[in-house]
A and B are shown apart, each in its own frame.
Chain A
Amino acid sequence: MQLDQILLAIAIAAYVAGALALIAYFLTRNEGLRRIGIPLAIVGCAAQFAELGTRWAISGIWPLTNLYGSLSLFSAMGVLIFTIFAFRYRLWFAGGFVLLIAAIALGYATTWNEGFMPPVPALQSYWIKIHVPLVISAYASFMVSFVVSLLYLIKYYAEAQYRRGGVVHAAAAGSTGASIPISAASAYAALDDAESGVRVGARRGDTPALAAAAERGDAVALWLGSLPTLAQLDVMTYRIVGVGLPLLTIGIITGAMWAKESWGAYWQWDPKETAALVSWIVYASYMHLHTRNAWRGVRAAWISIFGFATIVFCYLGVNIWISGLHSYKV
């Protein structure tokens, strides 16, 4: 086995094991599992970058000229972005799903590995070293935001389900005792902090039905209740999309500059660049709607899910089914 293949095997093994550990952490909140899962994620990610570097060193060929290379970078960047966000915003709970997607993407990538292939003339440009990593990093960010939105929706609909299923526990619902609609303003109340003598307006939990069920010992509710609040999940998604959208914007712009240099026009309405524009439109809409109170939360989460569906279409659908100037099959 060559060094790059050994590194690839290490990365896949680390992602699979890490995904299992972090999914188990998600279900049990056992800190020990997190302490195993996160280092595995880091090891897998490092092995992947080392593998891409090794391929470059062995062949002298920039490794991102085919779907194998780009999917590898997608999974490595997805894990990297997740890890940074996890340390910054305590995003551990999403790790198992991110690693699972990374492992699947990497496994699928290997089916496209044709060995070392020199790039076709159009790809022999310094732009490939700028444009491709930017676009792939944008896709990877959207993958992480997709996972967080998915968890948002699970928690949101579980709350709705529990609310339909019974009267909300008075203590959890606050003084009104009635169910509280999940909206930003109503979820706030002034809480007294006995210790400092300070009254602070703060969020009082935006899933009262889940909180009530958790108090009764309901396992699913306990588990979902240990996720961040819906508002926090929404803010996390927003922040990750806030990384992805500028990356996608620079990615599309650098792609246009490259197209100008190799095909004579920034924009040829090639299926790939056009599909990226569709994703850009969806995420730009997300950002605009997120400025409205009524659109934060569940609607924004659905847009983020839809946005990632357009990314999958743009990334894999167009490459595999629709041939064009960008298709790696040509």
Chain B
Amino acid sequence: MAAAVEQLRAGARETLEDLLRLFSSIYFAVSLFAVWGFLTLIGVIVDQGKDPQFYWTNYSPALARLVLRLHLDNIYHGTLYVGVIGAIVASLAVCTFRRVIPARLPPLRPVRIEHIPLNATLALEGEESTIRERLERFLRERGWQIRKREFGGEEWTFADKHNWARRGVLVAHIGFAIITAGTTWYWAQGFSGDTAIVTGETQTIPQTGARIRLEHFGYRFDPIKTKSGLIYQPIDYVSQVRYAGRDNVWRDATIRVNQPLDIDGTLYYQATYGFATEFSLLRNGKPIAGVPAGFLKEGQALEVGPGRGIEYSQFVGTIDRKTGRATNDPRPNDPGVVVRIVDGERVLGAALLPIGGSIDLGRGFRLSAPRFVVYSGIQYRYDPGMVLVGIGAFVLLSGLCIAFYFLPARLFLRLIGNGSKWELGVAATTVKGYDVFEDQFRELVGALGRCN
């Protein structure tokens, strides 16, 4: 029994060791990177977060089926994607402890000089102590840190440059881990949402209880002549609001793009705007039972029967009086709305209805759009991990700069001989291989030879 338990334990230890070995392999890490990159790329190419109908209409049936079956329509929040990022973080952690820390701070050990690709031998003459002193002074003057050790009665000199920078990788990895922690904190405790507030209306934000009233929404479009014609460039969107937070005191504020409003730590952003239009549908001059009158936003519909409706599909700022067609001027000079009569998925017809006017839909039905109001789309977000992400980004960058711009190198020096005839063996290693240091090594050895 005890033997079986012991065997089981040994098996588990071995499996764990195998797993740790796998997770600390840089090739495994890069394979995870490749999967991460591939999945991310799919998300760039395949439209994300649309209704299934969107894929059936815009993609070939086979592709739409593939996208929906494999959940490629919401790839970044899928189990596979989050799992790969989780595996990357796990791999990063395991690798940091098992490889980066031990490998990057190597102990001082003698080497077989001629087996290291960057090596040199110099014949020197003089007293041993004088040679050693001269050698050390030469290296110190060039910024090398000297340490000496004796191995088997032989004295070895080790010279390090940018030894501190060996921790650059560790710093970069820690930065990445901090960013991940910051974003996870947001997932765990943060929230976000959006709301559309019609002018004059007050909305209560469900998560915070904050109340926001839209006093006025202003927009500015400037007509600009370009080579491809006259365009109306949006210049400014601004919401004048009154709000009350936790203290119940009402205050005035302005929300602009790039200038969010902070209420009790939650930020409110100017995200979109639109025109809510009032519709009225009459039959033979009388209201129709069951068809509500009121304001609709773009994309909403008046239900007039099972599956049937009149959809408010688009607001048109300016209708050309001569042609009766929509122009590209988005400013509401002579406004109108595009409505579509839909039956299930089928569009039975569309019309441009001027604000204040009405159209005959046949069989005694008449649709009118007496007025419109502007609404402001506000996005809000509470993100407790923001500071961590900022710190992580800074740490990550510092690590990258340390790892890339400082080259930790080690020289191994051994003096053998006797009397006044000596031979100095020098070898060099760096954390980035030998090629990167070859020119400097040659120059260094040349200078060493000359100072002899």
State the A residues within 8 Å of B (CB): 113-115, 117-118, 120-122, 124-125, 127, 184-185, 188, 190, 196-203, 231-232, 234-235, 238, 242-243, 245-246, 249-250, 253, 257, 260-266, 269, 271, 274-275, 277-278, 281-282, 284-285, 287-293, 296, 318, 322
Tell whether B260 is near chain A: CB-to-CB under 8 Å.
yes
Q: Whose C-beta in chain A lies nearest to the C-beta of B448?
A: A198
Q: List 6 A-B contacts (CB under 8 A).
A: A114-B228, A115-B224, A190-B121, A246-B397, A263-B271, A285-B33
Q: Chain B residue with minimal CB distance to A203?
A: B438
| Chain A nearest CB, measured from B314 CB (Å) | 16
Question: Are B44 and A275 within 8 A (Cβ)?
Answer: yes
Residue among A113, A124, A234, A285 with the highest chain B CB neighbour number at 10 A: A285
Interface size class of B (residues with CB under 8 A): 35 or more
Partner of A113, one of B227, B432, B435, B436: B227
Most buried by A among B33, B114, B381, B405: B33
Stretch at the interface among B231-239, B276-284, B409-417: B231-239
Contact, CB under 8 Å: B271 / A264: yes
B30–A288 CB distance below 8 A: yes
B338 to chain A: closest CB distance in Å?
A: 20
**B residues lining the A interface (CB < 8 Å):** 26-27, 29-30, 33-34, 36-37, 40-41, 43-45, 48, 76, 114, 116-123, 192, 222, 224-228, 233-237, 256-258, 260, 267, 269-271, 379-381, 386, 389-390, 393, 396-397, 400-401, 404-405, 427, 431-436, 438, 441-442, 445-446, 448-450
With a cutoff of 8 Å between Cβ atoms, the chain A residues found around residue B379 in the complex are 263-265
Q: Is the CB of B224 within 8 A of A261?
A: no
Q: Given A274-B43, A274-B44, list of 5 further CB < 8 A pairs?
A: A117-B233, A118-B233, A257-B390, A291-B431, A293-B433
Let me know if A232 and B435 touch, CB within 8 A. yes
Quote the shortest CB–CB distance from A249 to chain B (angstroms). 6
Residue numbers in B under 8 Å from A190 (CB-CB): 114, 119, 121
Complex alpha-carbon distance, A322 and B432, angstroms: 39
- With A242-B405, A246-B404 known as contacts, the answer to whether A196 contacts B258 (CB < 8 A) is no
In the complex, what residues of A have CB within 8 A of residue B396's CB?
249
How far is the CB of A169 from the nearest CB of chain B, in Å? 23
Q: How far does the Cβ of B426 sit from chain A's closest Cβ, in whole Å?
A: 9
Supposing A115-B226, A203-B435, A263-B269 touch, asked if A196 and B404 sit within 8 A by C-beta, the answer is no
State the CA gap A59–B229 with chains docked (Å): 19
| B446-A271 in contact (CB<8A) | no
Minimum C-beta distance from A287 to chain B (A)? 8
Do the beta carbons of B40 and A274 come within 8 Å of each other?
yes
B434 contact set on A, CB distance < 8 A: 184-185, 188
Complex contacts, B120 vs chain A, CB 8 Å: 198-201
- A198 near B257: Cβ-Cβ < 8 Å: no
Q: What is the minimal beta-carbon distance from B354 to any residue of chain A, in angstroms?
A: 27
Establish whether residues B258 and A250, one from each chain, have CB atoms under 8 Å apart when the complex forms: no
Say yes or no: A253 contacts B257, CB within 8 Å. no
Which 3 pairs between the two chains have the least Cβ-Cβ distance? A188-B117, A264-B269, A121-B257
**Whole-angstrom distance between the Cβ of B59 and the nearest chain A Cβ:** 14
Give the distance in Å from the alpha carbon of A278 to the alpha carbon of B438 in the complex.
33
Known contacts A122-B257, A261-B258; decide if A200 and B442 are in contact (CB<8 Å): yes
Specify which chain A residues have a CB less than 8 angstroms from the CB of B29 in the assembled complex.
288
In whole Å, how far is A194's beta carbon from the nearest beta carbon of chain B?
Answer: 12
Chain A, residue nearest B227 (CB)? A114
Q: Are A231 and B400 in contact (CB under 8 A)?
A: no
In-complex Cβ contact of A125 among B258, B386, B427 (8 A): B258
A191 to B324, CA, bound (A): 87
Contact: B400 with A249, CB < 8 Å? yes
User: Chain B: which residue is nearest A245 at the CB level?
Assistant: B400
Known: A203-B435, A245-B404, A291-B26. A278 touches B44 (CB 8 A): yes
Tell me, rounded to whole Å, the shortest Cβ–Cβ distance linking A271 to chain B: 5
Say yes or no: A184-B450 contact (C-beta < 8 A), given A197-B123, A264-B269, A274-B43: no
B168 to chain A, nearest CB (A): 11
A114 close to B226 (CB less than 8 A): yes
Instruction: Give min CB distance, B350 to chain A, whole Å.
Output: 23
Contact B30 A262 (CB under 8 A): no
Bound state CA distance, A269 and B29, in angstroms? 23
The reply to whether B450 and A196 form a contact with Cβ atoms under 8 Å apart is yes
Provide the residues of chain B in CB contact with A122, threshold 8 Å: 257-258
A276 to chain B, nearest CB (A): 10
Chain A residues whose CB sits within 8 angstroms of the CB of B37 once the complex forms: 278, 281-282, 285
**Which residues from chain A contact B401 at a C-beta distance below 8 Å?**
246
Chain A residues within an 8 Å CB radius of B270: 121
Chain B residues closer than 8 Å to A296, beta-carbon distance: 433, 435
CA distance A232 to B437 in the complex (A): 10
Q: How far is B404's CA from A238's CA once the two chains are assembled, in angstroms?
A: 9
Contacts of A199 in B (CB 8 A): 120-122
A126 vs B427: C-alpha distance when bound (angstroms): 51
Assuming the A-B contacts A184-B435, A232-B435, are A201 and B257 also in contact, with contact meaning beta carbons closer than 8 angstroms in the complex? no
Q: How far is the CA of A14 from the CA of B37 in the complex (A)?
A: 39
Taking a contact as CB atoms under 8 Å apart, the answer to whether B227 and A115 are in contact is yes
What residues of A have a CB within 8 angstroms of the CB of B432 in the complex?
A: 238, 290-291
Closest chain B residue, CB of each to CB of A250? B397
